[in-house]
């Protein structure tokens, strides 16, 4: 796995979290996530076969969204974090 691929997926995770209204750094500060949890989110994303579709979906969103796309491998985690941040 290349550094570029990891960076791409780390960016997608951060952008998807933001779209769901989740600040990953804030969630970590509030002990809702550990650094290992964030790594797991990125590794789950690396296993996705649709990163280009994800990036296009994220670019098309006008702001905060209530759901992630059906194909998102981290949908459940983002949903839980969004509930905690409300």
Residue 16 near residue 64 (C-beta atoms within 8 A) = no
pLDDT tens, residue by residue, 18-65: 999 999 999 999 999 999 999 999 999 999 999 999 999 999 999 999
pTM of the complete model beyond 0.85: yes
Angle between helices 3-19 and 35-46 (to 10 degrees): 110
pLDDT tens, residue by residue, 59-77: 999 999 999 999 999 999 9
């Amino acid at each position: 796995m290349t550094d570029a691929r990891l960076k791409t997926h780390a960016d997608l995770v951060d952008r998807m979290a933001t779209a769901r209204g989740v600040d990953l750094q804030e969630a970590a500060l509030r002990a809702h996530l550990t650094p290992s949890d964030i790594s797991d989110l990125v590794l789950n994303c690396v296993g996705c076969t649709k990163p280009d579709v994800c990036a296009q979906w994220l670019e098309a969103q006008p702001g905060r969204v209530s759901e992630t796309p059906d194909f998102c491998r981290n949908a459940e985690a983002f949903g839980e974090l969004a509930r905690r941040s409300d």
